[in-house]
A and B are shown apart, each in its own frame.
Chain A
Amino acid sequence: MSSTLFRTSPALRGALRASGAPKVAGAMAGIGFVRGKATLPDLPYDYGALEPHISGKIMELHHSKHHQTYVNGLNSAVQTIKEAESKGDFTKAATVAPLLNFHGGGHINHTLFWENLAPASREGGGDPSGALQKAIVADFGSVDSFRKQMDAALAGIQGSGWAWLVKDKTAGNLNIVTRANQDPVSGPYVPLLGIDAWEHAYYLQYQNRKAEYFEAIWNVINWKTVESRFEKP
């Protein structure tokens, strides 16, 4: 048994099969979409603002190159699917579904990630408060224990992927889940806090010492964002 246990079948792929492609883009409206086109969101802080925990160079490449590539890939996948669909070529539309899932997931995940971070001199770091703090203690024992379990989940990812603190809408409790590559969190889970475990997220600064990155990132976690996602009904 492994982290693959937690890899659910991507929602976007299912959505494509169920309802046709253009509606998938509609379902992602609100996350960096302008007039049906995905757009790169601005960062709410400067590239260098997370130093020394995440270098300015990593942030700049990660946002302006990697995230931009997902945005471009998503728009091109949506376009290809629209064209195929208008011609009634559903086979072609289906073959593009994995690209839609990958780039769409990459766009969603990174958009959520940037909002989860903040400079250590501002909202970054510290501990959660209020109802979120109580829920974390109830489900993980303590905030420290939660951080340890999240770091263990991150370290256990074999390849590229993400670890998430999620709220289970059905059961009402908190969970840690991992996702391979750019598979987005879906189903009963509401993503509260995501950490990018792709090598591009840390390699220029931490190289193979990824455990140091997983430890350092807690200094720039924006708990206010996590709290507001948690409290949203």
Chain B
Amino acid sequence: MVNFNNLLQYLSLQSPLPSSSSASLSNLNITETLTKMGLTTYTLPSLPYAYDALEPHISAQIMELHHARHHQAYVTNLNAALVSHATALAEGDVAAQISLQQAIRFHGGGHINHSLFWRNLAPAGTAETADPAQAAPELVAEIGKVWGGLAEFKKAFGAALLGIQGSGWGWLVKETGEGGRLRIVTTKDQDPVVGGQVPVLGVDMWEHAYYLQYLNGKAAYVENIWNVINWKTAEERFAGRSEEKTEL
């Protein structure tokens, strides 16, 4: 019989999160505990646009659930895992500290990935999205050097997204070494882009990101998302001008 260790039991208790009063009470306790321990309480960032602003490419219903429920759950579970970890640290419980690593990685990754994602999206037909060469001249020039053109890059990126088996993310990243080379990478589940790579833009390929609108037609989601990619944000990240924290 499987030994359900503390983490698995813990995760099952924490997820998914109901929006009940008991949940908000425990949220308060968590904030209080983290503050007492001198630790940061992570919070859900507000979206830089309305839930319906990405229509018709991403529906308002998807955006609201994705932000207010899914992202919120990662934030809440991350804070809870950090409290448990700090407690284990104070008690010198090494086994508990180790068992919490995966929860922190998963929920922390979920928080980082979604925070990056919201900011690399913007309403279609705006200065951020309509003309990549205008909004991201340096990045688009570099993409041309690596892939031969924006269309070729989109094709390669789309193929990487559709090749993900299960839940995960596709990223355009810039190597911090090797002359800042651009690469397309995928990460599984909520693994964040870390170590030696700066995320320039990310696309969520979990089914919750598109299913209510696109159902099993994920190729259409992958095609339509180009209409709402925020090239200004991508350019800032590429040029190192972004002030986002990209690492926990």
Contacts and interface: CB of A to CB of B under 8 A. Distances in A.
A130 to B, nearest CB: 20
Contact of A211 (B4, B9, B16, B167): B16
Contact of A204 (B1, B106, B190, B211): B211
A149 interface: yes
A2 interface: yes
A142 to B, nearest CB: 13
Nearest to B189: A159
A69 B217 CA distance: 11
A56 to B, nearest CB: 14
Interface in A163-190: 173-177, 180-182
Nearest to A5: B5
Contacts, number: 101
Find the residue from B1, B99, B189 having the highest chain A CB count within 10 A.
B1
B216 A69 contact: yes
A152 B9 contact: yes
Nearest to A207: B65
Interface string A202-230: 01100111110000000000000000000
Given A1-B98, A4-B102, A181 B166 contact: yes
B98 A102 contact: no
A65 B165 contact: no
Nearest to B66: A208
Nearest to A168: B1
A61 B207 CA distance: 13
Contact of A158 (B73, B99, B189): B189
B46 interface: no
A121 B106 CA distance: 40
B1 A174 contact: yes
A151 B9 CA distance: 10
12 contacts: A2-B7, A61-B215, A65-B216, A98-B165, A140-B1, A153-B4, A153-B12, A158-B106, A158-B189, A160-B167, A161-B166, A207-B69
